[in-house]
Amino acid sequence: MRVKLFAMGLTSLLLSPVAGADDTVFDFTGKLSSEFQAYPDEGQFVGQAYHSNASIALETAFYWGFNEGDDSVIFTPFIRIDQQDEERTHGDIRELSWIHAGDDWELRSGLRKVFWGVTEFNHLVDVINQTDAVEDSDGEDKLGQPMVNLSLVREWGIVDLYVLPGFRERTFAGVDGRLRSGVVVDTDSARYESGEGDQHIDTAIRWSQSFDLYDIGLYWFKGTNRDPRFELGLKNGTPVLIPVYEQMDQFGFDGQATLDSWLLKLELMRRDTRSEDYSAMQAGVEYTFYGVSETNTDVGVLVEYGWDERGKGADVLFQNDLFFGSRITLNDESSSEFLAGLGYDIDYQSHSLVVEASSRFGNNWKLSLDARIFESGSNQDLMTNIEQDDLVQLTAEYYF
């Protein structure tokens, strides 16, 4: 599959128009990072009897602009080598695309990443790219998605049309990985509802518009569900979870209102599949205190609520949850930032704490300190699988 993805992206480059040398712009940037994770407790499952883990990762970005800026090519490869989990040692092409801009339209083809959504703690409407679940537990790391995207700019809004030829399976922690269930996911045995398997062509359409203080978006996605359901199977006599990717129709809305120091956020989605139909919502409010105590520091306070129509029958962590958080931005030369969030599950009385802090040093270095703490209030909650996976993570990144 990765060979096919690379071939598709390479084809988009070869089909891009040739430009003269006088208007060609080349740029190259990259990020080399080292990551150390400390776990106070050994994991509760076989293969997790360790307290620390280290990894290194490299992500580079090649940019080629030509045709007086109307055309550009972007290539962003990524690779990580992990000490403990062989499934986390992986590579991906995050982006390999050609972009052509017209007067009131833009055509983007190849492998790309697209993000939809406005809320902080859960992204219900972000449906185009597959989650790279071995990278982090927050679901914000994504695999590159093959696509052809035509974006039309009109006075009444922006319309994006997507053709998505090829599906990316979700990555999962292996036997030696943390933040997993007691039964390992067997990605080699993935099943599909569509007879075309991972070659099914998905489609999507999205309309977005800004009205003074309001930004809204509506979309319809039709294709392979990025969130698999699981069936119990056996591999060499050992129980495994087999991911099953169904076909789905998903309708979604995201909106944000900026009212002075207030941000009002809302994400809604309706998903219809063969096995279930349901709706879900994530809504929140954020208030920012600017220039606290006559300094450059801004302090934001966030409250969000997540609801899933399936209730306790949902196969996700957040089905009836409250989130409280604070974001502190120092607005200094080091771009120092701090975010803390507390999640509370109303159904199970479970708790989770997320802390993220980062700061730049000099022109090339960035240090980040993250913490994740989980406390399950019921053995029926999915969080019970990871409540011994509390961790503190230190990341050093060098930009070039």
Q: State residue 337's pLDDT score.
A: 98
Distance CA 50, CA 334 (A): 34
Q: What CATH number is associated with residue 53?
A: 2.40.160.10
Residue 216 has pLDDT above 90, yes or no: yes
HSE (side-chain half, CA atoms, 13 Å) at 130: 29
What pairing do the DSSP bridges indicate for beta strands 214-224 and 320-329?
unpaired
> H-helix or E-strand containing 356?
strand 351-361
Q: List, for residues 23-60, the tens digit of each pLDDT value.
A: 799 999 999 999 999 999 999 999 999 999 999 999 99
Q: How is the beta sheet containing 191-192 ordered, strand by strand?
A: 191-192, 238-245, 229-235
Other beta carbons within 10 angstroms of residue 76's beta carbon come to 21
Residue 15 has pLDDT above 90, yes or no: no
Q: State residue 4's pLDDT score.
A: 53
Burial annotation 274-304 (CB, 10 A radius, 16+ → b, else e): eeeeeebbbbbbbebeeeeeeeebbbbebeb
Q: Are 249 and 222 in contact (CB under 8 A)?
A: yes
191 Cβ contact partners less than 8 Å away, ≥ 6 residues apart: 231, 242, 243, 244, 245
What share of the chain has pLDDT > 90, as a percent?
94
Q: Cα separations (Å) of 130 from 12, 78, 148, 323, 389?
A: 21, 15, 16, 24, 24
Q: List, for residues 68-125, the tens digit of each pLDDT value.
A: 999 999 999 999 999 999 999 999 999 999 999 999 999 999 999 999 999 999 999 9
Domain containing 35 equals: 2-399
Count, residues in the chain: 400
> H-helix or E-strand containing 14?
helix 2-15
Residue 127 has pLDDT above 70, yes or no: yes
Give the global pTM: 0.90
Instruction: pLDDT band for 16, please (50, 70, 90 cuts).
Output: very low
Residue 162 has pLDDT above 60, yes or no: yes
Q: State residue 68's pLDDT score.
A: 92
Residue 3 has pLDDT above 80, yes or no: no
Residue 2 has pLDDT above 80, yes or no: no
Q: What mean pLDDT value characterizes the chain?
A: 94
Distance CA 12, CA 96 (A): 8
Q: Domain total for the chain?
A: 1
Q: List, for residues 329-378, the tens digit of each pLDDT value.
A: 999 999 999 999 999 999 999 999 999 999 999 999 999 999 999 999 99
The arithmetic mean of pLDDT across residues 243-261, rounded, is 98
Residue written as token pair 């993000």:
115
The arithmetic mean of pLDDT across residues 218-226, rounded, is 98
Instruction: pLDDT band for 399, please (50, 70, 90 cuts).
Output: very high
Any idea of the CA torsion for 178, 180, 183, 185, to the nearest 10 degrees? -100
Q: State residue 17's pLDDT score.
A: 46
Q: State residue 96's pLDDT score.
A: 98
Q: State residue 22's pLDDT score.
A: 59
